[in-house]
Structure 1
């Protein structure tokens, strides 16, 4: 069992984070109320004044003290480890979206994220990407390309084509074609590493991501150089330039969206942009 909680009136009355803690407690109470005792192996015939599990039952099943769990539901300022949140999510049979919401409120990374094999995209997302008239693609947290459209393949000279498991980082750092395609490749490569670090800062121990990082460190001196610099930036989009084999130098404005149905994935669109004066 984890250590006993510590709390104080001064800490619980402190404004910063109070609304978030209150929302977290209300969310846990709501989920607890819908979990049936039989679904967690408890006798179903016990008389209950309220539906769902009791606080002491949740605490016992999660291996924490009833005082600690009560304080969490009350929105008090207590220190809770990521593994305790994970146990609570399991005990309360949270869906993927609920689990993601829990860890967002708790402001920590899910320790179980990425341990399972990657799932296919929900039905309809490939059709969504196909319907976009500009180059577009979907990547997961490891920057595997899970969906792309024909305009993207035309821009990238056929890539990813028939690759079974295309990965944008491997393309940028290990495929010579990227050096010819990307305008100012060195600058873009530096930023890409910083963006990837920001995406994976809490998930570098996930097997798929750690294997990818190890492979890039061994095969790409440029990736290794910038990875050791510890730079972090958000994948915020912006202007992108490419040397198209038929159209010459072309520019796009990159727009990135997080996917509600797959929080670990992003939809990226490249909107045509005008060249700057002087051809730069």
Structure 2
């Protein structure tokens, strides 16, 4: 049990009796802590004693398991567990949340939602290799009648179609070569062809760094990500300048313009999608505007 889980929670203006049920806040009024508490409480109340190997016992005043029972299964104090269900400002470590998820028999989707509500990273989240992208996702790229490609968590291109190869001269063109690096950031910042191809290069490159900072926050200390940032910092003063700005932005859609060496000025609308079971990957599609 951590110090945060065993210590008494901070006091708040609302001194509710832990034995009394709390009234649910409306979705617009609920704080993140309150939303987390209501989610945990709902799943505790729908779990029967028999489901966790406990005897049904005498008549129960509340549905599902008692708070004390869940606290015992999680190895935390009943007071701490009660206060987290009530949405009080208490600290919940990733380890404590993992024990709650196991005790409440949460599904994979429910467990992921629990950690999202708490703003914590699931310690059981697998570290997936970049070269194990689902075959169906790779096949999808070839079926798209527009430039499309898949990026891994360091923004290396794992797959792309002929339309993308035709558009991204200097990055995705040329014959297949396992030794050739096809990283979007390295192309943008270290290849002269990128500054010619990408219209308003500085604005787009700055935005790209802000998007990568947001996208990589959960694995910023991973070896490959750290190595990429260090390499770009050593090779590109522009990358150093943009990275130091601390800008953060979502990788969202929008207009993308290119000055293609054969097609001239071409403009696309970008759509970026995350596969439901591989959120470390990105599927990018460019639709002719």
- How would you bin the TM-score normalised by the shorter chain? 0.7 to 0.9
1:276 aligned partner: none
Provide structure 1 residue ranges, at least 5 long, that are not aligned to the other structure.
38-43, 274-280
The aligned counterpart of 1:253 is 269
| TM-aligned CA distance change 1:263 to 1:32, over 3 Å | farther
Task: Give the whole-Å Cα distance in 2 for the aligned partners of 1:252 and 1:170.
Answer: 22
In structure 1, the partner of 2:189 is 173
Deviation of 1:247 after TM superposition, in Å, equals: 0.8
Aligned with residue 232 of structure 2, among 216, 228, 238: 216
Query: For 2:97, what is the secondary structure of its paired residue?
Result: helix
1:138 has 2:150 as partner: yes
Q: 1:244 aligns with which of 227, 250, 260?
A: 260
RMSD across aligned C-alpha pairs, in angstroms? 3.6
Among 162, 182, 201, the residue aligned to 2:177:
162
Matched, 1:20 2:22: no
Rounded Cα–Cα distance in structure 2 between residues aligned with 1:47 and 1:272: 63
For 1:27 and 1:130, the matched residues in 2 are separated by 44
Bigger radius of gyration: 2
Seen in structure 2, the aligned counterparts of structure 1 residues 243 and 147 have a Cα distance that, compared at 3 Å, is same
Distance 1:109 1:75, change over 3 A: closer
Residue deviations 1:167-188, cap 9 Å, x none? 2212222333322321222221
Tell me: CA distance 1:98–1:162, structure 2 relative to 1, closer, same or farther (3 Å).
farther
Contact 1:36/1:53 (8 A) holds in 2: no
Conserved in 1, the CA contact under 8 Å of 2:211 and 2:251? yes
Match of 1:188, SS state, is helix
Q: Distance in 2 between matches of 1:152 and 1:92?
A: 46
TM-score if structure 1 supplies the norm length? 0.76
Alignment correspondent of 1:110:
121
Q: Would you say how many aligned residue pairs link Structure 1 and Structure 2? A: 265
Q: Normalization by structure 2: what TM-score?
A: 0.74
Unpaired segments ≥5 residues, structure 2: 17-22
User: Who is 1:47 aligned against?
Assistant: 55
> Matched residues in 1 for 2:56 and 2:252: separation?
50
